[in-house]
Amino acid sequence: MLSEKMRVIIESVHPLSEGQQTLIADEIKKALTPCKIVCYFALNPTLKEGLKVHFGSVILDDSLLGKWQLARRVAEQENLNGIALQDIPKKLLKILSGWKEKAVLTEVGTVESVQDSVAHVLGLPSVKAGEKVIFENGAVGMALNLNDDSVDVCLIEGGISVQENEAVYRTNEAVTVPTGMSVLGRVLNPLGGPLDDKVSLKGTDLPLQQTAPEIIARSPVVHSVHTGITGIDALVPIGRGQRELIIGDRQTGKTSLILDTILAQREHNKNTKNLSEKLFCIYVAIGQKQSSVRHFMQELKKHDALDYTCIISASASDSACLQYLAPYAGTTIAEYFRDNGMHAIVFYDDLSKHAVAYREMSLLLKRPAGREAYPGDVFYLHSRLLERAAQLDDVHGGGSLTALPVIETQEGDLSAYIPTNVISITDGQIYLDNDLFNQNIKPAINVGLSVSRVGSAAQSAFMKRIAGSLKLELAQYREVLSFSQLASDLDAATRHMLDRGARLTELLKQPNNQPLSLAEEAVPLFVGIKGYLDELPVGKVMPFVLFFRKEMMKKHPEWIKRLDESGDLSSEETKALEKFIQAQLLSFQKGS
């Protein structure tokens, strides 16, 4: 019985022209209606003469003097499911009466051996590096090592069932992934296959490997990406088109920062109908547990944030080749939005596992190993990926692609091979400190080791005025804190610096899954920088902040609206804000 989708392979001794291939494919599709037919053409010199056509498990053999006969499972049948296969050869022979047109060459190879997820294939002399190939049983692979008389193919899907002596067919196509608005709200594998309970994705297929935009097409990074995390938006701001690294040990809150950043786009994306003003999110999970990816998806659903997000997952149980392709697939999907005048942000969680997967592939392919057994091109692996992030100028549509890669360190070692590589590629890093995390300072952002090379260029005017003083006071606090532990008696200025720093640190604490608006971030920092919290006990800082936000929302919503829309307050509004702060502080102290 014919399946809904059938793969038909036409083997010939001589090359068929493009016109002949089209006519043959059309005749086969007509004869096998209503099945969905996908035709592949291959050269097979062993036939000596004529053609051989594979219809799934059925073979039409014309390799001996134009005589067609059915083989294998239907040797005794004249037709298959009511379709007259014997009528096809007459039409094909008529089409093939001329052989003088320009030929399109396609070869067929043979699997010599399979080891782990790499197949050694004989033949395919014209195959290209990175080209997608299809095995006789339907498995998909990608050609990588091009040897003199053979090709090493990395198995992407269905590699377990590949056997020796199987045929391997070229597709003349690079590995692609579907793109478009239809990817939003979906969980996909790096080839675009559905991992959720929805139907297969339909969209424009684009190659995973794309070149980065030219320098002339780029524009300076000046527009902010609001993360909803006070410590990031104030101290290490991220701009559209930037590459900002999130780095830290295991279980220090790296994925939580990603989740909060995605949730922070919810209100803006909901209230904005113009697609060019929204920020679409692509989350790439590389080598993660399937349960972790599912939990991440459920959190997005719970907070109504999946509609503008796409999840690409290559889990720990998937092949190394699939994990290797995952970040490139996510970037290609994000580039669709960038190249169509929209804005996207892509998160790679994480590139440490990506480098390990590439190392595994390279060792299986017997490529020379370098430091820590990584191949020599491991730097190029990530540089060609992250260089695709860009803010395009108005001539090229004005779209942007922002990249937030994640790197996992071991015992806080920033000088390891992969961390130093990625740090040198990105425009700054957010370092999550394990000691701060254990002290319940969350998010555990180490101010001294975190930096954004874009700096205040991507900040609002109000936040910019606050951030300079905040960085200075926190840096002084960290420095004095380490020395104060050795001193028994501190002078008044040092004690004041420690007290101020402790309260500012308290302001930067934030629970998970509760991103803040710009006004909710900036105004409490303004209160702390101006010294209004100096008389409050440290334990009363966060209760006052919650009280103050509630009162400001109730009595002065226009300030919140002005800050969120324009990013600044007038001098008169700032003075009124200071009076309001003093009044609420007195009210809070009386109430407590």
Catalytic residue among 7, 218, 294, 453: 453
The amino acid at residue 175 is V
In angstroms, the CA 223 to CA 188 distance is: 30
CA–CA separation, 56 vs 389, rounded Å?
Answer: 43
Which single residue is written with the structure tokens 């109504």?
A: 304
The confidence score (pLDDT) of residue 116 equals 84
**What is the residue-wise DSSP string for 259-309?**
HHHHHTTHHHHHH---GGG-EEEEEEEES--HHHHHHHHHHHHHTT-GGGE
Q: State the fold for domain 5-95.
A: Glutaredoxin (3.40.30)
Provide CATH code, domain 108-174.
2.40.30.20
pLDDT of amino acid 58: 61
Domain range 463-591, its CATH number among 3.30.830.10, 1.20.150.20, 4.10.320.10, 3.30.1200.10: 1.20.150.20
Contact present, 121 and 61 (Cβ < 8 Å):
no
Q: What is the pLDDT of residue 114?
A: 92
Q: What tokens were used for 517?
A: 């608006």
Q: Where are the alpha helices (DSSP H) in 439-570?
A: 461-484, 492-507, 518-529, 541-555, 557-566
Verdict on whether the full-model pTM lies above 0.75: yes
190 φ, ψ (degrees, to nearest 5): -60, -15
pLDDT at 102 (0 to 100): 46
Q: What is the pLDDT of residue 356?
A: 96
Alpha-carbon separation of residue 59 from 54, 133, 349 (angstroms): 5, 21, 46
384 is known as an active-site residue: no
Closest to 154 in 3D by CA, of 117, 121, 105, 201: 117
Q: Where are the domains of the chain?
A: 5-95, 108-174, 178-456, 463-591
Using alpha carbons, select from 205, 174, 171 the residue that is nearest to residue 9: 171
pLDDT at 14: 77
Cβ(397)–Cβ(341) under 8 Å? Answer: yes
- pLDDT of 51: 76
The matching CATH number, chosen from 3.40.50.300, 3.30.2010.10, 1.20.1250.20, 3.40.50.150, for 178-456 is: 3.40.50.300
pLDDT at position 109, please? 87
Taking the chain, what is the end-to-end CA distance rounded to the nearest angstrom? 79
The residue ranges of the chain whose pLDDT is under 50 are 1-3, 64-83, 99-105
- HSE, CB side, 13 Å, CA atoms: give it for residue 481: 12
Check residue 85 and give its pLDDT: 52
Q: What is the largest CA-CA distance in the chain?
A: 104
Q: Exposed, middle or buried, 149 (CB in 10 Å: 0-12/13-18/19+)?
A: exposed
